[in-house]
Amino acid sequence: MTSPAAPAVEKVISRAWGTPHSHTLAEYRKRGGYEALKKALEMAPQAVLEEVKKSNLRGRGGAGFPTGMKWSFVPKDSPKPKYLAVNGDESEPGTFKDRYILEEDPHLMLEGIAIAAWALDVHTCYVYLRGEFKFAAQRLQAAIDEAYREGIFGKKMLGKDFELNVWLVRGAGAYICGEETALLESLEGKKGWPRLKPPFPAVVGLFGCPTVVNNVETLASVPPIFQRGADWYAKLGTEKSGGTRLICLSGSVNRPGVYEISMATTLRQLIEDPDLGGGMPAGRKVKAVIPGGSSAPVLAADELDVALEFEALKVKQTMAGSGGVIVMDDRTCMVRSLWRVARFYAEESCGQCTPCREGTPWQTRLLRKIEEGRGEPEDLEMLLNVATSIAPYPPIGLGTTICALGDAAALPVHSFVARFRAEFEAHIHEKRCPFGDRPWGHFGDWA
């Protein structure tokens, strides 16, 4: 058992949140805003890229790919224009950090965009924002307008002859558009059907041109690297992953919310630390925790002494994903929970690949049948069979579909059944949900 207190860490991304007018350029400048860009503009683009590599920054959207390496895949001698596409299509269930960045400190990300554009010789950037985010869109557009007015974007960048245009594009309600190639399709004005890779977007991306796709938090992590140095940033993190991390805590816990933590923090510390999750609601115990958005395989109560970090979670056959930690307590029905998760993937499957298009509703139907007490003994094997046909597990990444949505839909099924098989069997044998009409362990008025 580890100590209940999480390791202390300096806040890098969330430090201004909640302070008055934190979203304005004036306040951002008082915090040293756009000084990192000044430094970066004095460096050669290649040196900027090397600095990001040295920082060990890894993508915060879900896959955790090293950012500097991603940038280095953009061909230097391409005669085509290059693009930066920002992935702000935050829709992974349990994830709500990018929204806070954009609402509370949009210039942090915009400065990251400017630095990335300089490093990559990009002159056009599209920020693809989830369609539902009205307030974040307003805050972000206002910040972009400020940056144009103050000579950061537009024809010149802080007086330097370097043009950058930044356009906000709002999505329209499709989880799949958070997948980077679906996002590019959507930016091109199409339905969000993922593309086969390779070629990767860094080579053939938006409008057939080299394109870097980075998550909001990833770009917001760039200015601190130049303010304080890549070595400092790398040391905040673990051996293979620099910096801090935003974690979105939700579900059955006393203090849900977004927390910036050290990547050495364990799941147990995240839940128990009085300054973080603040423990479980009275009389309840942890039953299960999803550590990285609903696509990440679930962990049981005895698996919480694991650091919320890419490599450590990989060892547990799950993933750090988008940082969405969802806590389920001992009054929660795991069949009901999995059914709801399965419905999400069935709803959001884009329909392109057969295993996912057909398999996700099939999983949902079987889970509904079991939850409603109509399950047959063979249904559980059938459920696993369907999940395996979409994506076998373990390990993660064996999916039979073009994009990872298939994996994301199958992993919860595999992991829930592996850890809570007896509960699924009880539903089938008792021909009812053992939790009766209270499958969610309700809170407050909704009891």
Partner 1 sequence: MAEPLFTPEQQKTFDTELAEILTHYPPDRKSAAMLPAVRLLQSLKGWCPPEGLTLVAERLGVTKERAYEVASFYVMYHLKKPGKYVVDVCTNLSCSLRGAESLLGYLEDKLGVHAGESTEQWTLRETECLASCGTAPCLQINEDHFENLTSREKVDAVFAKLK
Which spans of this chain sit near partner 1 (rule: CB under 8 A)?
Answer: 90-96, 98-99, 126, 130-135, 165, 167, 169-175, 186-192, 207, 248-252, 256-258, 290, 294, 324, 326-328, 332, 337, 340-341, 344, 347-348, 350, 440-447
Cβ proximity to partner 1, 77 vs 445, nearer residue: 445
Cβ proximity to partner 1, 55 vs 181, nearer residue: 181
* Partners of residue 326 on adjacent β-strands: 250, 290
Shortest Cβ distance from residue 99 to partner 1 (Å)?
5
Shortest Cβ distance from residue 96 to partner 1 (Å)?
4
Shortest Cβ distance from residue 165 to partner 1 (Å)?
8
CB atoms within 10 A of CB 162: 17
Cα separation, 190 vs 353, in Å, equals: 17
Cβ proximity to partner 1, 56 vs 95, nearer residue: 95
Cβ proximity to partner 1, 92 vs 309, nearer residue: 92
Q: Measured between alpha carbons, how far apart are the two ends of the chain, in Å?
A: 33
Cβ proximity to partner 1, 99 vs 414, nearer residue: 99
Which backbone phi and psi does 290 adopt, to 5 degrees?
-95, 120
Shortest Cβ distance from residue 30 to partner 1 (Å)?
28
Which backbone phi and psi does 440 adopt, to 5 degrees?
-110, 0
Own/partner pairs for 22-27, CB < 8 Å, 24+ apart?
A: 22/104, 22/105, 23/103, 23/104, 23/105, 23/106, 23/107, 23/139, 23/142, 23/143, 24/143, 24/146, 25/107, 25/143, 25/146, 25/147, 25/150
Cβ proximity to partner 1, 52 vs 182, nearer residue: 182
Shortest Cβ distance from residue 143 to partner 1 (Å)?
17
For residue 168, give the DSSP letter. E
Closest CA to 348 of 360, 334, 339, 340: 360
Give one DSSP letter per residue of 34-54, joined into a string. Answer: THHHHHHHTS-HHHHHHHHHH
Structure-block tokens of residue 145: 């307008």
Shortest Cβ distance from residue 29 to partner 1 (Å)?
27
